Amino acid sequence: MADSWMVVGLGNPGPNYAGNRHNAGHMVLDELAARVGGSFTLDAPRKANVLAGRLGIGGPRVVLVKPTTYMNVSGGPVGQIAKFFGVTEENVIVVHDEIDIPFASIKLKRGGSEGGHNGLKSVSQVLGSRDYLRVRVGVGRPPGRMDTADWVLQNFSKTEVKDLPFLIDDAADATELLIKEGLVAAQQKFHGKADQASKA
């Protein structure tokens, strides 16, 4: 379906990971599901929670996907569901945590390096391409010499949790704008916000 989009939220399964920085993608997908007005259904054979609907009345068709696999093998469900719904890589959007962006900032891009993100590496490998869209949810870098893996597998701090709903809302807005108006329009709106945040 040429007018269909697939939005994938990366994260790890289960309640032990639900509040982790690494699960920012899942959090954004939950917000988008609320906006679509539906509930995720488990697609057991393809190992993902899936919701198909429209963004607004008469809006674009979207398939929201939260893989139920661990992050580093997210690509399998993404590839299978894209094939099932006939969504090409150009219309695949992956929402994920990004340590190279300050907390509470959003940036968007198409293609390029995965930046060491194992979920993105898995998606690129299965799709056979890096040429998909990314909504990058800033979680910031770990303090001191803390290992990056330890950092992203921790829950957001008490201070961050206060601003987390605004970050998730912004990321969902960015995803909607990306679908409805394109990459440049979304970048112009949200990259300005990110630049202001980094100077604050």
Residues 6+ apart with CB under 8 A from 106: 135, 136, 137, 138, 167, 170, 171, 174, 190, 193, 194
| Backbone φ and ψ of 40, nearest 5° | -70, 145
Q: Which of 22, 26, 96, 117 is catalytic?
A: 22
The first and second tokens of residue 181, run together, are 């108006």
d(CA 147, CA 156): 16
135, HSE (Cβ side, Cα atoms, 13 Å): 33
Q: Is 61 left (phi over 0), alpha (psi -120 to 50) or beta?
A: beta
The first and second tokens of residue 169, run together, are 């809302």
Q: Cβ–Cβ contacts within 10 Å for residue 77, how many? A: 25
The first and second tokens of residue 129, run together, are 């391409």
Instruction: Tell me if 132 is assigned to a ligand binding site.
Output: no
State the pairing for strand pair 4-9/92-98: parallel
Q: Which residue has the tokens 């939950």?
A: 30
AA identity, residue 198: S
Whether 22 is catalytic is: yes
Instruction: Tell me if 17 is assigned to a ligand binding site.
Output: yes
Instruction: Tell me if 70 is assigned to a ligand binding site.
Output: yes
Which residues are annotated as catalytic? 22
Residue ranges for the known binding site for tRNA are: 17, 70, 72, 118
